[in-house]
Amino acid sequence: MPVRALPQNPNLQHLKYQAKDLLKGHAAHDPAVAQRIREFHPRWAKRSDAEIFAAHLTLSDAQLAIARESGYPSWTRLKRRIEQPERGDQPNLPHHERIEDASFRGAVALIDAGKAEGLRVHLKRHPGLSRKRVVIEGGNYFRNPTLLEFVAENPVRHGKLPRNIVEVTKTILNAGVEQSSLNETLMLVATGRVARECGVQIPLIDLLCERGADPDSAVEVAAVLFEMEAVAGLLARGARITLSLAAALGRTQDAGRLLPNADPEQRHLALALASQYGHAEIIRTLLDAGEDPNRFNPVGGHSHSTPLHQAAGNGHLEVVKLLVQRGARLDVKDILFGGTPAGWANYAGKRDVEAYLRTLELRVPTAD
């Protein structure tokens, strides 16, 4: 899920209170708290709610989760950011303006200007720069980018890319990059709206895959973020059809074939994606196989919400009815905004879905 970005003038005491509230939610066995701990505390990644609730959670554990939820690797780093802020800590500055390394920042400026030859000379003058990483804290991605990752314009810095960005990208690739950088850049390109809007998403995907980027590393997250042109481009480059990808694409036969051997993580993501895209038959198959319609979606799959939130927000009335019939709760609130599925339908303007859910809400008895 997206991080909870710090306000302009963060208060450390307020964050300490948040950590204590997390402890209280843990003690109360709040599923939303379990989801936050699972996503933002590395010790409990991929653990079940029951395992998290059974564990002893200290104040230090809660503070670490709050720090990571704010986009910082530790409570110490978060505390330093608040008590001794530096220029690079200013969240209102574009990412390239937060880079303190002069040679790296100069290279980014050449990328943004589309000066491929100037960049080639700059990289030759600074050996190893194409493999160097910079630290950018406060977000849930792009925290430790290499130079190559700046070609994706994701996160958005200028809202546009130079016309020769493919040539510029080749210049960096020719200087030498690591596999991890290739894969991360592919993911950023495949999930970035600016590359798509500028008509270079597919050319960049093709180039990166030709140079060794793994199409499997980006295809599922592209589907999660509705970048279906990128999904098609990655499939053309050899990405495998997984259960979750089949669920997103509505490939019922592939989903049935892959389900028996799919691991729990694939099944969980498949339900999230099938609900997001409205594929009722696949959802029915997954529910019959034991998937829980009330579990929060997995990390990387709109994890602040449930399948019913996604189906309601995207206007899939048939799927909403199916999930409700199979026990999906109407009163679960998403973690980021505190909205129910009906609230999501209202916000998205899906009036038929909202009307159906509101009618059901009226039938639910309230406690005296």
How high is the pLDDT of residue 368? 43
CA distances from residue 220 to 107, 217, 266, 283, 305 in whole angstroms, order as listed:
31, 8, 10, 17, 18
Q: Do 178 and 212 fall into the same domain? A: yes
User: Residue 253 class from Cβ within 10 Å (0-12 exposed, 13-18 middle, 19+ buried)?
Assistant: exposed
Within a domain: 56: yes
Q: Are 204 and 218 in contact (CB under 8 A)?
A: no
CA distance 244 to 27: 33
User: Is residue 145 within 8 Å of 134, Cβ to Cβ?
Assistant: yes
Residue 150 belongs to domain spanning: 95-238
Residue at 4 is within a domain: no
Residues 16, 57, single domain; the answer is: yes
- The pLDDT, as a whole number, for residue 89 is 65
DSSP 297: P
Q: Please list, residue by residue across 133-164, b when 16 or more beta carbons sit within 10 angstroms of its beta carbon and e when fewer do.
A: bbebbbbbbbbebbbbbbbbbbeebeeebbee
182 in Cβ contact with 208 (< 8 Å): yes
Give me 296's structure tokens.
Answer: 């929060």
Whether residue 139 is predicted with pLDDT greater than 90 in this model: the reply is no
Taking only Cα atoms into account, the Rg of the chain, rounded to an integer number of angstroms, comes to 22
d(CA 235, CA 109): 33
Q: Are residues 170 and 142 in the same domain?
A: yes
- Position 90 in a domain: no
3: in domain: no
pLDDT score for 93: 75
* Tokens at 46, concatenated: 């991929």
Residue 135: pLDDT band with limits 50, 70, 90: confident
Report the distance separating Cα 333 and Cα 343, nearest Å.
9
Same domain for 302 and 272? yes
Evaluate whether residue 157 is within a structural domain: yes
* CA dist., res. 327 & res. 196, Å (int): 39
- Residue that finishes a domain, picked among 85, 105, 123: 85
The verdict on 209 and 250 lying in the same domain is no
Name residues whose C-beta falls within 8 Å of residue 57's C-beta, 6 or more positions apart in sequence.
22, 23, 26, 37
Question: Within 10 A of 211 (CB to CB), how many other CB atoms are there?
Answer: 16
- What CATH code is carried by the domain that includes residue 198? 1.25.40.20
Q: Is 215 in contact with 238 (CB distance < 8 Å)?
A: yes
Q: Does residue 230 sit in the same domain as residue 256?
A: no
d(CA 213, CA 189): 12
Confidence band for 265, pLDDT divided at 50, 70 and 90: very high
Range with lowest mean pLDDT among 98-102, 189-193, 332-336, 347-351: 98-102
Out of 238, 253, 284, a domain closes at 238
Whether residue 218 is found in the same domain as residue 301:
no
What is the rounded CA–CA span in Å between residue 131 and residue 348? 42
Q: pLDDT tens for residues 19-52?
A: 999 999 999 999 999 999 999 999 999 899 999 9
Is residue 5, in this structure, part of any structural domain at all?
A: no
C-alpha separations of 301 from 31, 255, 339 in Å: 17, 18, 17
Q: What is the pTM of this model?
A: 0.90
Which of 35, 50, 85 terminates a domain? The answer is: 85
CA–CA dist 363, 368 (Å, integer): 15
Q: Are 150 and 104 in contact (CB under 8 A)?
A: no
Domains: count for the chain = 3
Per the CB < 8 A criterion, the answer to whether 204 and 148 are in contact is no
pLDDT tens readout for residues 191-249: 999 999 999 999 999 999 999 999 999 999 999 999 999 999 999 999 999 999 999 99
**Are residue 101 and residue 210 in the same domain, yes or no?**
yes
**Would you call 133 helix, strand, or coil by DSSP?**
strand
**Lowest-confidence range among 2-6, 123-127, 156-160, 173-177?**
2-6
Q: Is residue 194 domain-shared with residue 121, that is, in the same domain?
A: yes
Portion of the chain with pLDDT greater than 70, in percent:
97
Place of tokens 């220029």: 87
Q: Tell me the two tokens of residue 151.
A: 């070609």
Strand partners, 146: 133
67 and 159 inside one domain: no
* 321 and 293 co-located in one domain: yes
**Do 174 and 142 belong to one domain?**
yes
pLDDT (tens digit per residue) in 10-28: 899 999 999 999 999 999 9
Predicted confidence (pLDDT) at residue 172 exceeds the cutoff of 60: yes
278 — pLDDT class (breaks 50, 70, 90): very high
Residue 2 located in a structural domain = no
259 within 8 A of 236, measured Cβ to Cβ: no
Is 118 among the domain residues?
Answer: yes
Distance CA 264, CA 339 (A): 27
